[in-house]
Amino acid sequence: LCFRHGRRGTLDLENGNSSQKNQQTTGTPGGFSITNQDCTTKVLLAFGKEDFQSDAFWLACEKLGYECNLARTRDSVLEAFQTKSHEIVIIDTRNPKVIDGESLCRALRALKTSQYTVVVGVVRKGTSEKEDSSIEPMLNMGFNRVIMETSGLVQCMNELLQLYLSDVQPRLQLATAQAMHIALDKCSDVVHITDQNLNIQYMNRSSERFLGFSMKDVAGKSLLETNSVDNKELMVQQLQRGREWEGLISWRRKMGDSVVLSGRVIPVCSPGRSPTHYIFIHESQHMMLDKRMSGTLVKNPELPKGSNNRKGSADMKSISSDGLRRQSIAKLHNLSIEAPITKVIALITSVQDNANIEDIQTLDKVVDILRTTELYSPQLKDDKGKAGDPVTNDLIGALLSSGPSVTPIARRSSSDSGSVSKIGLSRSTFKTANMSHQMKELLDTSLLWDFDIFRLEELSVKRPLVYLGMNLMDHFDVCSSLGCEENVLHNWLVVIEENYNAKNTYHTSTHAADVMQATAGFLERERLKQILDPLDEAVCLIAAAAHDVDHPGKSSAFLCNSNHELSILYNDLCVLESHHSALAFKLTISDDRVNIFKSLERDVYKAVRQNVIDMILATEMTKHFEHLAKFVNVFSIKKEDDSPDVRMLFF
């Protein structure tokens, strides 16, 4: 790239960029007044040497506010174009010995980024006067326009304006249309575009997958011939007037059945003219609900009296959305770490884009199986053709089970008094007794994200877990969920806090209280309230309080390398986390005065115990990204259909 002289404005060395651009209004000879747009048009001049023509185009670009670059060699032209992707490239074809304009044009057209670039060739004045002269060979090479050399500034400005208005702008609109076409193919909504007579001109891939028809099957056919609309005359009347219409349309599928979708139709028309196209849009949530209504949606069975159905966690497997799947996987791909199962699901999802409806349903089942956490656990085949021996089946089932089965928990309610031990649940006065005014004010902010845990450590004389624990567990009504008295919960917190090593620099009861406070902050999020029930919330707080109890101040790797007794006891597997959970339950069931689980039914206790253990074991950092991948692959896909993003669970 060349160095331009100061007479053409302040220019950058090596790249020939003009600094006189992006002005609001530029006055020019001949009465021109051009207002620049937000995106500056970029012009590349490919001239082997400076002359009157290159100077004229350079000054014209300055006057019009265009960004101009000048390159003198073939390689520098290609390098500059690949760097900035100019909208206009002007090539000097007058002297092939200095720069071969024809080969340069072919080289530019060979680049993928030149699809929407306008390439102009400059020829000598006498060329057009020859009888055998024709611009057809140059147009066939890839030139969009051929202009004769001129030294007039106004003429060069006119040429640039014509190039921009008649060539550059239509190409930019074409590029935008192509981007919209790609976006429509990737979106999960059902989209059809028709002409003014409602003949189908376009349908996106979601429509092809959902209805089973390909674009070839429906191209040019009337949308109303095969599909029915309530009050069709009113819809057509509104659309012809340029008004948007909303309503129900019954769509016929290739399999022979029909499905009713709620959507809207948008007319597309220029101001003052009749509509030329109509866009039919049906949101994906209606599509996916209707698509899976035949068998995938699971209705909740009748629950016994006094049971509370989970608000979301047990029902996440009922609805799967292709759109949500792609969004969640795309977010996971943005991470620098990716699990193999994520790659597998991503590959399957990409295959579904071009599959027919039967294959899509089969692949959906494959993905559902891959999302389970027990991929290699053997299961008995459900062979309806064979009755089988029930005793044998029970024995084999017991051998195959990896542990105690956790059945859906029958929640207690106030109407089911027979399932709860008769324990008085009167509130103690711990919340207000033995507390300073400063302590009460601080605990009033216990659910705020910027809660000062170190201030609490100071006010509580290094007993923050008891004070904060009672405050938070009272807020979430943990005593009612567990069926225990408040003094038992208080005793449990005291025992747990006493078993934290105060000599540690980090893993102290202050750290446990800090984690519990953060957990409570997440539990207060509206999205989690819709998913978790009170017993789930209690389990989260209990696990947070006990997750580092009796931490020795050394890592699991250190204990394993030093042959510590804990590493020997737990076979070098999740040493500290196993110790924390085991000791927490050992301390809890050792005395009825601290046993907060005493009143739970056996099945409920099993589920609570398993959840607490799982949450504590999940704090091992070596398993963090494995849990993250499972979370994205399972829960973000299986959430309620009104949840657009997995992160919405927390924010």
Residues recognised as catalytic: 507
Q: How far is CA 448 from the centre of its chain?
A: 27
In three-state secondary structure terms, 620 is coil
Beta bridge partners of 121: 91, 146
Say if residues 297 and 163 touch (Cβ distance below 8 Å).
Answer: no
**How far apart are alpha carbons 279 and 267 in whole angstroms?**
6
Distance CA 409, CA 58 (A): 78
Q: Is 548 annotated as a binding residue?
A: yes
552: amino acid identity, one letter: P
- Is residue 63 helix, strand or coil? helix
C-alpha–C-alpha distance, residues 398 and 285, integer Å: 41
DSSP run (H or E) holding 26: strand 25-27
Q: Cα–Cα distance between 443 and 624 in angstroms, integer?
A: 31
| 627 is known to lie in a ligand binding site | no
Helices (runs of H) and strands (runs of E) counted in the chain:
28, 13
330 vs 88: CA distance, rounded Å = 35
Using only C-alpha atoms, the chain has a radius of gyration, in whole angstroms, of 36
Is 5 within any annotated ligand binding site?
no
Question: CB 29: neighbour CB atoms within 10 A?
Answer: 10
Q: Could you give the strand order of the β-sheet that contains 190-195, starting from the edge strand earlier in sequence?
A: 200-203, 190-195, 277-282, 258-268, 245-252, 228-229
DSSP output for 75-125: HHHHHHHHHH--SEEEEE-S-TTT--HHHHHHHHHTSGGGTT-EEEEEE-G
Q: What is the C-alpha to C-alpha distance for residues 630 and 616, in angstroms, rounded to an integer?
A: 17
At 191, is the secondary structure helix, strand, or coil? Answer: strand
If we measure between CA atoms, which residue out of 263, 177, 253, 262 comes closest to residue 208? 253
CB burial of residue 456 (10 Å; 0-12, 13-18, 19+): buried
The residue among 537, 516, 528, 533 whose CA lies nearest residue 647 is 528
The β-bridge partners of 582 are none
Instruction: Burial-class residue 345 by CB neighbours within 10 Å (0-12, 13-18, 19+).
Output: buried
SS3 string, 579-600, reads: HHHHHHHHHHHCCCCCCCCCCC
> Token pair of 306, please?
């006094």
List CB contacts of 88: < 8 A, sequence separation 6 or more. 41, 42, 43, 44, 117, 118, 120, 160, 163, 164, 167, 168
All residues at 6 or more sequence positions from 252 whose CB lies less than 8 Å from its CB, including other chains: 211, 226, 227, 258
Q: 438 and 461 in contact (C-beta within 8 Å)?
A: no
Distances (CA, A) of 474 to 489, 490, 522, 606: 10, 11, 16, 24
Q: With DSSP H G I counted as helix, E B as strand and the rest as coil, what are the percentages for the chain, rounded to 5?
A: 50, 10, 40
Known binding residues are 511, 547-548
Known binding residues for Zn(2+) are 511, 547-548
